[in-house]
Structure 1
Amino acid sequence: MKGLYYRASVNDAEPKFVIQETSLPATLGSHQVRVQVKACGLSPLDLKLIEDLGIQRDLIPVGREVAGVVLQVGNKVSFFQPDDEVVGILPLDSPCSGLCDTIDIDEHLLVQKPEKLSSVCVAGALRDGLCAYTALHTHVHMAAGHTLLVMDGASSFGLMCIQLACYHGVKVLTTSHTPQTHTFLEQLRPSVGVQDPLVARVIPVYKDSSDLVSVVLEETGGLGVDIVIDSGVRLQEESSEDMMLLPHKHDIISVLGVGGHWVTSHKNLQLDPPDCRLLFLKSASMTFLNHEVWTASSAQQGRYLHILKDIVEKMSVGVLRPQPEEAVPLYEATVAMETVQRQQKKKAVVQL
């Protein structure tokens, strides 16, 4: 069978993704499950993180968010039986590519897939759901009555944050990067219950990003928000159009209320002494969002499985409604992954 792999490039050349022939071991591990893959989500590879964890391989497997059907179980597997539909995320050091027809995976990395939830939908949204849960539950412990500012709410991750927060009674503000996404965010409604807008205020930063602080403070009566979740940060004044859509780090700290929490996905964030002083005066905190920590460490395996189970259950009943990703066939996987890696925020789903 064949899988998709990243071949380490030399001299910072373009990343190269190749289809490689592979095979599974003859015997299944005692706690492993053999799964026939039905759909696989493609997300950007964090090559620096892989290097930091000491994973050194000529070929790095690509495609880790998988949905499929159990074919065979190890002799000590207690959670699953053959023909069960399952979803999960392959660990960073997995030898298997999620685009293989059949993979072996530890039972403690999988959860049952609800019958009415499509494989393509869950494979495309599982990672973003995990990120949203990690940010809102694990890091900031959101509660009803909190106020949340989500940057770029129309992104797949931002949309998950908005829907999850609204379900728990949080007031949500968000930013839009284009007129089309602005209209989309203003028209967001829950699938069940009172059909009030999910977002209390959509702030169009494509017009003038300098309005962000004044609009947020106006909306919160000058108090600021309890939680900010970014999708990238400007560390200094940038000239490029894409960077100008991102908030400046000082603006994010300025809109935080007393005791507020800032969750950032910016891996190389640097705060200057005035920024730290402002955080201190507000008794506010900042957290780095690294969703890979769940599979990189087994310290909280039970909580991780609980999160995955809750995500798929909320998707199946319509509480979480990700934007549908158009599935691409396997023969287009290489081109799709190159696009995902180049654009970073883009996602793709391959249907097998």
Structure 2
Amino acid sequence: MKGLFYRAGVSDAEPKFVIQETCLPEALGSHQVRVKVKACGLSPLDLKLLSDVGIQRDLIPVGRDVAGVVLQVGTDVSFFQPEDEVVGILPLDSPCSGLCDVIDIDEHYLVQKPEKLSSVCVAGALRDGLCAYTALHTHARMAAGHTLLVMDGASSFGLMCIQLACYHGAKVLTTSHSPQKRTFLEQLRPSVARVIPVENGSSDLLSVVLEETGGLGVDIIVDCGVRLQEEDESEETKFLPHKHNIISVLGVGGHWVTSHQELQLDPPDCRLLYLKSASVSFLNPEVWTASSAQQGRYLHILKDIVEKMSAGVLRPQPEEAVPRYEATVAMEAVQRHEKKKAVVQL
């Protein structure tokens, strides 16, 4: 049985992602489930995060968002039976690669997959749905009547945020990074109240938001990264908002959810947040599988995501699945950020 792994500590000249033979233990743990994988989602490896939590291996398993069919259950498993279709995210310290034909996983990381939902669709969109839920419900405490600003709403994560917010009765503003993305987002009306183009480098973000909110600012902002320096115009950051612009469009008591891992706020930024009694949260979707403190809540979120996807409330952008023999090339493109994600069909 073969899986995809990241080889740590090699030079740039050598391939970092390798196909490696692996095998499962004969005995299944009492709370473990043996799953035949049908689809696996690939997302970038956060090597610094793995190092911070003490996971240091020569070979790091790749592919953690999985959908498949239960083959066998442990003696104390109560949630699943053989032949059940399941979906879940492997924990950070899992020894299994999601690209193996068969994997062992604890039952508390899995939920039932609705029959009408395809394995490829749910494996590709589960992480985005989890991020959207974590940002809007866990951090921002979104409620009906709130005004939400989603940066880069045409991204897979941004689209999930827009759909989830509209379902709960929030007013949504969003930004677009290209004319094509603006056209796509305009088609989402009336779900999206206003699309703010930022592709020309200079944006009227503050004036448009104040116009749409009657001068009050937005209740919630969800970003996809920010610029820390005004003069930073690199290819990766030129469409990202500056941190001061983000704080400026926040309303009183507003909440900013950022995915920027190394955000630095200067004293004037902190003063402005203080004056608005606003708050900042960091979006780390890995925290659910890195800690078991709120395992029940995590499973409730996963279950709600797949049910809303099955009902059509959440409609992820279709992701074309690649065959397993292209998984290494696809993962290298994802790790270089040439692609946001990829889905492998087994």
TM more than 0.5: yes
Residue of structure 1 in register with 2:222 after alignment: 229
Structure 2 residue ranges without an equivalent (≥5) = none
Query: 1:241 Cα deviation (Å)?
Result: 3.8
Query: 1:20 Cα deviation (Å)?
Result: 0.2
Q: Counterparts of 1:94 and 1:124 in 2: how far apart (Å)?
A: 19
Whether 2:193 is the aligned partner of 1:215: answer no
SS in 1 for 2:44: coil
Native 8 Å contact 2:197 2:203 kept in 1: no
Structure 1 residue ranges without an equivalent (≥5) = 189-195
Once the two structures are superposed, what CA deviation does each residue of 1:329-351 show, in whole Å capped at 9, x if it has no partner?
Answer: 00000000000000176110000
Residue of structure 2 in register with 1:326 after alignment: 320
Once the two structures are superposed, what CA deviation does each residue of 1:183-219 show, in whole Å capped at 9, x if it has no partner?
Answer: 001102xxxxxxx521100001002433111111111
Residue of structure 2 in register with 1:61 after alignment: 61
Out of 310, 317, 323, which is 2:311 matched to?
A: 317
Native 8 Å contact 2:41 2:66 kept in 1: yes
Query: 1:246 Cα deviation (Å)?
Result: 0.3
Out of 274, 277, 282, which is 2:268 matched to?
A: 274
Residue of structure 1 in register with 2:232 after alignment: 238
Query: 1:160 Cα deviation (Å)?
Result: 0.3
Cα distance change on mapping 1:200 and 1:300 into 2, 3 Å = same
Q: Counterparts of 2:85 and 2:91 in 1: how far apart (Å)?
A: 19
> Structure 1 length normalisation: TM-score?
0.96
Query: 1:275 Cα deviation (Å)?
Result: 0.3
Q: Counterparts of 2:235 and 2:47 in 1: how far apart (Å)?
A: 26
The one-letter code sitting in structure 2 at the alignment partner of 1:263 is: V
Residue of structure 2 in register with 1:151 after alignment: 151
Q: Counterparts of 1:56 and 1:314 in 2: how far apart (Å)?
A: 37
Deviates more, 1:137-146 or 1:239-248: 239-248
Residue of structure 2 in register with 1:175 after alignment: 175
The one-letter code sitting in structure 1 at the alignment partner of 2:257 is: V
> Structure 2 length normalisation: TM-score?
0.98
SS in 2 for 1:343: coil
Native 8 Å contact 1:148 1:171 kept in 2: yes
The one-letter code sitting in structure 2 at the alignment partner of 1:61 is: P
The one-letter code sitting in structure 2 at the alignment partner of 1:283 is: S
1:1-352 to structure 2, matched below 5 A, reads 1-10=1-10, 16-188=16-188, 197-236=190-229, 237-343=231-337, 346-352=340-346
Once the two structures are superposed, what CA deviation does each residue of 1:81-132 show, in whole Å capped at 9, x if it has no partner?
Answer: 0000000000000000000000000000000000000000000000000000
Native 8 Å contact 1:9 1:15 kept in 2: no
Q: Counterparts of 1:160 and 1:210 in 2: how far apart (Å)?
A: 24
SS in 2 for 1:315: helix
Native 8 Å contact 1:8 1:15 kept in 2: no
SS in 2 for 1:298: coil
Native 8 Å contact 1:209 1:244 kept in 2: no
Native 8 Å contact 1:15 1:338 kept in 2: no
SS in 2 for 1:142: coil
The one-letter code sitting in structure 2 at the alignment partner of 1:115 is: E
SS in 2 for 1:116: coil
Residue of structure 2 in register with 1:192 after alignment: none
Percent sequence identity over matched residues?
86
Native 8 Å contact 2:206 2:248 kept in 1: yes
Query: 1:12 Cα deviation (Å)?
Result: 6.4
Q: Counterparts of 2:202 and 2:76 in 1: how far apart (Å)?
A: 56
SS in 2 for 1:91: coil
Q: Counterparts of 1:324 and 1:186 in 2: how far apart (Å)?
A: 19
Q: CA RMSD in A?
A: 1.2
Cα distance change on mapping 1:13 and 1:262 into 2, 3 Å = farther
Q: Which runs of 4+ in 1 moved over 6 A?
A: 12-15
Query: 1:13 Cα deviation (Å)?
Result: 6.3
The one-letter code sitting in structure 2 at the alignment partner of 1:198 is: S
SS in 2 for 1:203: strand
Q: Counterparts of 1:328 and 1:10 in 2: how far apart (Å)?
A: 26
The one-letter code sitting in structure 2 at the alignment partner of 1:268 is: E
Once the two structures are superposed, what CA deviation does each residue of 1:37-68 show, in whole Å capped at 9, x if it has no partner?
Answer: 00000000000000000001000000000000
Q: Counterparts of 2:322 and 2:334 in 1: how far apart (Å)?
A: 13
